[in-house]
Amino acid sequence: NAGVTQTPKFQVLKTGQSMTLQCAQDMNHEYMSWYRQDPGMGLRLIHYSVGAGITDQGEVPNGYNVSRSTTEDFPLRLLSAAPSQTSVYFCASSRAGGSLLVFGPGTRLTVL
């Protein structure tokens, strides 16, 4: 099993550009989520999904969109990139009902 995969590993954007961060898991996990990690602020939840077709907002959803058309994929879209979105983004997944969270390796995003 590849676990949770994320692409790209690194990305540089200009202010106002849009892009999609890809996340896929091959463990048949029901739950998937996106976090961002910033120095001194820890990880914060952006969006999450409890199954295909079901998504909801986390703590810091503004400026981001998600969709979950399949169990395996959970892409994160930046609509109009801003310097405040410079961060490391982690995708995670888990089985329903309380199980260990599996994280992807992360995408380091810089917005100029």
Partner 1 sequence: KQEVTQIPAALSVPEGENLVLNCSFTDSAIYNLQWFRQDPGKGLTSLLLIQSSQREQTSGRLNASLDKSSGRSTLYIAASQPGDSATYLCAVSRSYNTDKLIFGTGTRLQVFP
Taking the complex as a whole, the smallest distance from the CB of residue 77 to partner 1 amounts, in Å, to 19
Tell me the two tokens of residue 49.
């999904």
User: In terms of CB distance, is 10 or 14 closer to partner 1?
Assistant: 10
> What is the contact surface with partner 1 in residues (CB under 8 A)?
4, 31-33, 35, 40-45, 48, 50, 58, 90, 92-94, 96-106
Least distance in angstroms from the C-beta of 8 to partner 1: 15
Q: Is 71 helix (H, G, I), strand (E, B) or coil?
A: coil
CB atoms within 10 A of CB 30: 16
Q: What is the CA radius of gyration of the chain?
A: 13
Check if the beta carbon of residue 62 is closer than 8 Å to that of residue 3.
no
Nearer to partner 1, 80 or 99 (CB): 99
Looking at the Cβ atoms of 2 and 42, the one nearer to partner 1 is 42
